Every structure is written in C-alpha cells, then in structure tokens.
C-alpha cells in the first residue's frame, strides 16, 4: 500500500499523539488549553476498575469537540515510606473502626496525588466512538473476511499516521525516544507509550514502532519480516534491561489485533502490569508470532484471527450488514423503563 493510501483519513491527529500547545515564531504559546476552560457535556466512559474516566466537552471560546481522559496514577513503591504516603503531612479521615479493623480515607501531600491527563482536541467522531462505553463483540476473521471486509475498511477509515512519521523522521518526541535503530529495512524506534508516565516501573509500557512503511498489522507479516521481528525482540529486551532494570523474563511483548493504528508496532509491558488489551482476544505474543512464521512462512496470511469490535465502530456496521455479528437489542422491560 502506498504512503498516500496509508495517510488517507481525517486530518485531525490520532488519539495516540495530541499536540495541545502551539507556539508562534517568538516562542509564545498562542493556543494553550487550560482545564479551567473545559466545559463538560457528557461522560463517555467511567471505568471504575481501571480508575479512568473519559469526558466529552468543549473549551470556552474554541470550536470543536474535546475529549478529556483522566486516570489515577499507580502507586510508586519508592513513595511508600515516611517521606511519601506515611509522612507527617498525610491525614486520615476515619470511616469506622471496629476492634482490629479500621476503614479510612487517606489524604497524602498534593505532589503524590497527580492524575494522568490526556486531551484530544479537536476530537473526531472516531475518537468519540473509541472512548465511549459500549457493547463489544468477537469476530473470527478468516483471510477471506479480511480481504473482503476488514482491509477495505482499514484503507478507507483509519486514523491519520502523520504523528508516527514525525517520530520516525526525528521531528517530534525525540526527547522521549529510549532507543533508535536507524536501519530503514529492519530498524525501529522504542519510546514510552502515552499511557505510561515514563517513570513508574510498576506500569512500564513502551512501543517499538517499525521504520518500514506499508506493514499495517499482524496480517501482513511473513518470513521476510523475521529479521525485523527478532531485532525488535532482542534489542528491545536489552535496552529495557539497561535503562529500567527489567529482565526479559518480566516483559510481556506482543502485538494487538486489531491494532489501534495501522503502522506495525510492538508493545512492551511489565508482566505485573495489567495493561489494556493483554487478553487472548486481542494480544499475540511476539515470540509466538515468530515461532508461527518459522513453521509456516505465510501463517498470518492464512490464519483465522479473532478480534473485538464495538457497536459504535464503523467496522461493526460492515460485519453486521454481512451477517457476522448481531447488535444487542434492549429487552422489552428495558424499553418500557425508558418510555416511563
């Protein structure tokens, strides 16, 4: 697929890379977004398990929809001491105390209470659908279904990839790059995923983005890509051990299918971290992918692959129209309740 086709999509930035500050030639920020100017319109998703919430709204005096994603930070083990959560500045509010059991709310100093915040502005309808809470279905995608339904959808409606090319070309985020292999054929860039703060080992999450263009996903891989895959695995493990002191035996290294953007990339997460998308219907371990291709060179051209789709995704409509998934209809009792 040509570069022009890869980039064919809406012109707004992907949710994976949002630039919210704009400076003029004099270095003055002309369009800084402030949370005090954010006006809530709708809660798209409130995930109480992951302690994340996505809010749809707008900024005062600005056009366009904005999405605000808030996430509670994981505990850093180095802060679990008398200089951190157990310092003299920490306050406890008692809910109840009964014999040896007590239930409290803890108020540590403000520097420990940061909330990871992502802003997507201006957000498109695809961003809104991506972050909305909705029903999910599993599709068993045969090679025939991939070529007939999935691939045309990918080529027509994927997110813009300019943010990826900016990283690979050294135009953006170079201060975040952990490792850079410049080989155009088998090279890649390793950097923290935006879901990671880049510091907390317990939530370690990095992406290896390949330099070679035109490889959209797992489906495109064959024996010609084995040197690239092995280089990502071996060099990625080595660099993460050097920089973060996490051995390869404690790394989960995998692809997503379907991926959130269609330029081949590999996820590296700490094994103790229950990152989004690590479950069987989504994640494919890199070592397993390499092994499958070594056994059958075109394995991923021939395999049936599962993936999940949600009812607001455009691809759901495609698979529903062709009879491969069925939308969940509200029960009679629920309809009656809504009518009342």
Any binding-site annotation on 264? yes
Biggest distance spanned by C-alpha atoms of the chain = 70
126 is written with which tokens? 């695809």
Any binding-site annotation on 248? no
- 265 given a catalytic annotation: yes
DSSP assignment, residue 128? H
20 is written with which tokens? 């919210």
Any binding-site annotation on 22? no
Any binding-site annotation on 265? yes
Any binding-site annotation on 284? no
Rounded to 5 degrees, φ, ψ at 226 are -60, -45
Q: Where are the beta strands (DSSP E) in 130-264?
A: 136-141, 179-181, 188-192, 205-210, 251-256
Any binding-site annotation on 270? no
Any binding-site annotation on 279? no
Give me the helices (H) in 198-225, please: none
Any binding-site annotation on 262? yes
User: b or e along 83-111 (b: 16 or more beta carbons within 10 Å of the residue's beta carbon)?
Assistant: ebbeeeeeeeeeeeeeeeeeeeeeeeeee
Any binding-site annotation on 195? yes
DSSP assignment, residue 327? P
Any binding-site annotation on 153? no
Any binding-site annotation on 256? yes
Q: Which of 22, 265, 273, 284 is catalytic?
A: 265
Any binding-site annotation on 173? yes
Contact residues for 306 (Cβ-Cβ < 8 A; gap 6+): 138, 139, 140, 141, 257, 280, 281
Q: Is the dihedral of CA 286, 287, 289, 290 positive or negative?
A: positive
Any binding-site annotation on 266? yes
Binding site membership: which residues?
A: 163, 173, 193, 195, 256-267
Annotated binding residues for substrate? 163, 173, 193, 195, 256-267
**Residues that are catalytic:** 265
């Amino acid at each position: 697929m040509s570069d022009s086709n890869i980039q064919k999509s809406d012109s707004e930035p992907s949710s994976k890379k949002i630039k919210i500050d704009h400076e003029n030639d004099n270095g003055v920020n002309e369009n800084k977004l402030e949370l005090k100017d954010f006006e809530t319109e709708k809660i798209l998703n409130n995930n109480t398990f992951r302690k994340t919430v996505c809010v749809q709204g707008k900024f005062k005096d600005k056009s366009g929809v904005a999405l605000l994603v808030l996430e509670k930070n994981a505990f850093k083990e180095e802060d679990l001491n008398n200089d951190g959560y157990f310092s003299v500045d920490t306050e406890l509010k008692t809910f109840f105390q009964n014999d040896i059991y007590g239930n409290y709310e803890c108020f540590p100093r403000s520097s420990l209470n940061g909330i990871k915040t992502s802003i997507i502005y201006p957000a498109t309808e695809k961003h809104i659908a991506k972050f909305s809470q909705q029903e999910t279905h599993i599709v068993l995608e045969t090679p025939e279904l991939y070529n007939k339904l999935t691939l045309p959808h990918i080529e027509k409606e994927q997110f813009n990839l300019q943010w990826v090319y900016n990283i690979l070309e050294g135009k953006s985020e170079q201060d975040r790059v952990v490792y850079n292999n410049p080989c155009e054929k088998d090279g890649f860039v390793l950097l923290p995923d935006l879901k990671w703060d880049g510091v907390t080992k317990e939530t370690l999450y990095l992406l290896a983005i390949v330099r070679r263009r035109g490889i959209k996903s797992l489906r495109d891989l064959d024996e010609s890509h084995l040197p690239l895959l092995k280089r990502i695995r071996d060099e990625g493990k080595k660099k993460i051990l050097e920089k973060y002191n996490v051995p390869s035996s404690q790394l989960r290294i995998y692809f997503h299918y379907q991926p959130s953007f269609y330029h081949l990339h590999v996820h590296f997460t700490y094994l103790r971290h229950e990152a989004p998308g690590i479950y069987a219907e989504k994640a494919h371990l890199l070592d397993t992918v390499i092994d499958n291709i070594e056994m059958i060179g075109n394995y991923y051209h021939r395999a049936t692959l599962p993936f999940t789709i949600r009812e607001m995704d455009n691809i759901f409509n495609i698979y529903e129209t062709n009879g491969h998934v069925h939308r969940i209809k509200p029960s009679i009792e629920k309809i009656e309740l809504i009518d009342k």
